[in-house]
Chains A and B, each alone.
Chain A
C-alpha cells in the first residue's frame, strides 16, 4: 500500500489513515482515536473538565474502563469482594465508577470477571487490533503496538480531549527502526531484548520517535513477548513502539470477544496484511542489535537505561567522560548502595515481584511456574506473583500454576498493577532489594527507599530460588 508511489512505514500508514486534519505550520495534526482506555488514576480531573463545560463523552462505544493502578491485590473476603482499606483509593475508585456510569462507558470493576491491568485487558478482549490508534492516560500504552497499532500514553488534559472529541492534537513523531537480528539463546527472553535496547540507546534515546521493532528475533517472539518489548518503548523515550502484524497477531486476536468474525474477519485480515512497512521505506533513524549475542539482562541503577548483562560488573563513574552522566551514575549507585565495579550476581535480595503490564500474562506465569516447579523460594525472600487480569488469574489456576507458586512459598494474589507502581500497599520497605519483572527502577518506584533490579521472569525466579541475583541459565539444565 503506497500513497503517490512512495514506500511508507507501518507508522506512516496508520498516521495517514487517522488524520482528521493534517499538520500545518500553525497547528499540529488532528488524529482520530479508535480506542480509548481509561483507568481510575489519570481520569478523574478529565471527567471534571467535562462536567465544568457541560460536555458529553463523544464515543463511549470507543472507550473502555478498568480499575488497576490503586487497587489492592489482597485476598477476597467471605463475600467474594476485594476490600479496599485505603480511604483515598476507595474514593478514587468510587469516583471512577460513577464517572463511567454517568457517561455510559463500559467498565471492569475491581474483582469482576474481566478486570485487570489496562494493557493486559485490551489485547485479551480482542479490542487491540492492527492499524488502530489507541491511547490511554498511561505511558505503557505502547504495549498495544505489538499488534501493529499506533498506541501511546497521554496526559489527563489529553484524556479529556479524547473523551470529549475522540481526537488529539499531535505533532508527527519521527521513526526509528530497531532491528533485532539473529535468534535468542536459551534463558534469554523478550524482556532481555528490550532491556538491552534501552541500555544501548539510553533512557532518552528514543525521545520524539516511534520505534518499529523488526528482524528475525522479533518475528520469532510470541505476541506476549512482543507486548513485553513494546511495553518498555517509553523507557527508551519513545512514546510508541510497534511490530508489523503477521499471522501470529491474527491468530492471537481470532475468536476473542471483540475480534471481528465471519466476513468481517476476512476483510479485516486483508486490510491488516497491507499494514507492514513497504520495502524501501525510510526511517529517520535505525539501530541494530544481535539477539544471539544477548545474555539475560539486569539493571543496576535508577533508570531502565542503566542495564547490563547479568554477569557484568556495575560501571565505574570515573570511566564516564560526560560530567552530567558521571554524576547521574554516582547518584544512582549511592541510592542503590552498590560499589563501582561490583558484580550483581550473588547479591542478596529481599523481594521478587512477578507481575506488571510488562510481564504478567499467562505465558510469563507459565514460564515462571515451570521454572519454579519442585523448587522453593529461598528463606528470607518474599516472592509475589500478581496476574495481569482476572482472566489470566483464572487461566493460571485452571492449569494449577497457583499451586506451584504456593508450594514454592510464593504469594499468589489478585490482579492489578501492584508493586510495579506501589500505590496500593504492595511495596518495598526502605533499603530492600527486589528483582522485579516490572518496567521502572526509579528511586522509590516500588516503595520509598526500595531498590529495584529489573529483569525477566526467568531471572526473577532464579533469583528467588537462590536468594541472590542469579543467572537462570545456570539452573536451567535440569528443567529444559
Chain B
C-alpha cells in the first residue's frame, strides 16, 4: 500500500443515498483472479448505455469537466451490500483517492482503508455544501490532511473527520495490517494452546 498523508483534488458528486457495492462494481465483473483493470467497471451500469460500451452522457463521471476528479462525494450510507473488495479496487482504478459521505457501510469502510482509499465521514450540511459546490464549479477542489484528520473546503473551512488510530498509522506509513498480525505469532500460539480447536475441517 502506498503512503497517504495528503490529498488535494477536485470533487465530483453522486448525490444518491445507499450506493451499494453492486452499483460500484456489478457482480459479473468479479470473475477475475487479480485486481487489475477494474477501474473501467466502476459504476458500469450507470456509466454506460445498454450496450455496456457507449458512455451514458447523463452520468456525471462521463462529463468532461469532471475527468480529473479524485474525491467522490456521495449520498448517505455509501458502500452497503456485499463484502467485495473489488469495490474499493474499482474506485481506485477509476482514479479516486477518497470518498466523502455522511456514513459508510462497515465492510466497505474496512476494505477501503486496507487499500489506501480514504472514507471521509462528514455532517449532512457539509455533504450538501459539497454537492452544491461540485455542481456549480467542476474545478472545486478540497484538501485532506490525514495526520490532522481534516477536510478543508474551498472557503477555507476545515472539517474534522473520524479515523481510527491504527488505520491512520497504516495509511501514513504505507504499511498493511498483515505484517502486524504476523508479528503476533507467539501470542496467537499461546491462544491456541489455551483454547482447543472446535472443528477439524480436514478430518
Contacts known (A61-B197, A423-B30); A169 close to B177, Cβ less than 8 A:
yes
Chain B interface residue count, CB cutoff 8 Å, equals: 61
Residues of A within 8 A of B80 (CB): 203-204, 237, 303
How far, in angstroms, from A203 to B16 measured CA to CA in the complex?
14
The smallest C-beta distance from B64 to any residue of chain A, in angstroms, reads 24
- Most A CB contacts (10 A, CB to CB) among B30, B111, B203 go to B30
Cβ B111 vs Cβ A155 within 8 A: yes
Contacts of A167 in B (CB 8 A): 181, 184, 188
A62 within 8 A of B: yes
Q: Please name all residues of chain A whose beta carbon is closer than 8 Å to the beta carbon of B157 when the two chains form the complex.
A: none
Query: Would A442 and B81 count as touching, CB distance under 8 A?
Result: yes
**A106→B31 contact, CB < 8 A:** no
Within 8 A of A (CB), among B173-203: 176-178, 180-182, 184-185, 187-188, 191-192, 195, 197-203
Complex: A64 Cα to B201 Cα, angstroms: 6
Residue of A20, A132, A155, A234 ringed by the most chain B CB atoms within 10 A: A155
Q: How far does the alpha carbon of A171 sit from the alpha carbon of B182 in the complex, in Å?
A: 18
Q: Are A35 and B45 CB-contacts (below 8 A) given A49-B178, A139-B107, A442-B22?
A: no
Known: A60-B201, A95-B33. A237 touches B77 (CB 8 A): yes
* Neighbouring B residues of A166 by C-beta, 8 Å: 188, 192
User: B81: which A residues are within 8 A, CB to CB?
Assistant: 139, 234, 440, 442
Contact B197 A34 (CB under 8 A): yes
Contacts of A82 in B (CB 8 A): none
Of the stretches A37-45, A358-366, A457-465, A472-480, the one at the interface is A37-45
B200 touches A41 (CB 8 A): no
A144 on interface, CB distance cutoff 8 Å: no
* B126 interfacial by beta-carbon distance below 8 Å: no
Using A137-B83, A445-B22, A448-B45 as known contacts, say yes or no to A41 and B188 having CB atoms under 8 A apart.
no
Whether A61 contacts B180 by the Cβ 8 Å rule is no
Q: Would A204 and B195 count as touching, CB distance under 8 A?
A: no
Give residues of chain A (124-161) contacting chain B, Cβ–Cβ below 8 Å: 126-127, 129, 131-132, 137-139, 153-158, 160-161
The answer to the question of A284 belonging to the interface, with a C-beta cut-off of 8 Å to chain B, is no
Residues of B within 8 A of A158 (CB): 110, 114
Q: Smallest CB–CB gap between B132 and chain A, Å?
A: 12
Residues of chain B contacted by A207 (CB below 8 angstroms): 77, 103-106
B15 at interface by CB-CB < 8 Å: yes
Which B residues are in CB contact (< 8 Å) with A1? Answer: none
Q: Is the CB of A258 within 8 A of B203?
A: yes
Residues of A within 8 A of B181 (CB): 30, 161, 164-165, 167-169
Q: How far is the CA of A34 from the CA of B104 in the complex (A)?
A: 28
Instruction: Determine if A317 is an interface residue (Cβ-Cβ < 8 Å).
Output: no
- State which of A85-93, A373-381, A383-391, A395-403 sits at the interface with chain B: A85-93
Q: Which residues of A contact B148 (CB under 8 A)?
A: none
Chain A contacts of B103 at CB under 8 A? 204, 207
A28–B180 Cα distance when bound, in Å, is: 11
Minimum CB–CB distance from B27 to chain A (whole Å) comes to 5
- A254-265: CB near B (< 8 Å → 1, else 0) gives 000010000000
Complex contact A155–B201 (CB within 8 A): no
CB-defined contacts of B76 to chain A, threshold 8 Å: 204, 324
Asked whether A161 and B177 contact (CB < 8 A) given A92-B32, A139-B82, the answer is: yes
Nearest B-chain residue to A21, judged by Cβ = B187
Known: A42-B84, A157-B114, A445-B22. A88 touches B31 (CB 8 A): yes
Find the A residue at minimum CB distance from B30.
A41
The reply on B3 being an interface residue by CB < 8 A is no
* Interchain CB contact under 8 A, B83 and A138: yes
CB within 8 Å of A: which of B47-84?
A: 50, 52, 75-77, 80-84
Chain B CB within 10 Å, residue with most, of A48, A158, A442: A442
Given A91-B33, A132-B199, A165-B181, 10 more A-B residue pairs with CB atoms under 8 Å apart are: A32-B195, A138-B83, A139-B81, A155-B110, A237-B105, A324-B17, A422-B28, A423-B31, A430-B50, A444-B45
Task: Sort A-B residue pairs by CB-CB distance and give the 8 closest, nearest first.
Answer: A155-B111, A204-B77, A44-B33, A155-B85, A88-B31, A153-B83, A328-B17, A156-B85
Interface residues, chain B, with chain A CB atoms under 8 Å away: 15-18, 20, 22-23, 26-28, 30-35, 45, 50, 52, 75-77, 80-85, 103-107, 110-111, 114-115, 164-166, 169, 176-178, 180-182, 184-185, 187-188, 191-192, 195, 197-203
A-B CB contact pairs (8 Å), 13 listed: A20-B184, A26-B166, A30-B184, A32-B195, A92-B33, A104-B202, A131-B198, A204-B76, A324-B15, A327-B16, A423-B28, A445-B27, A448-B50
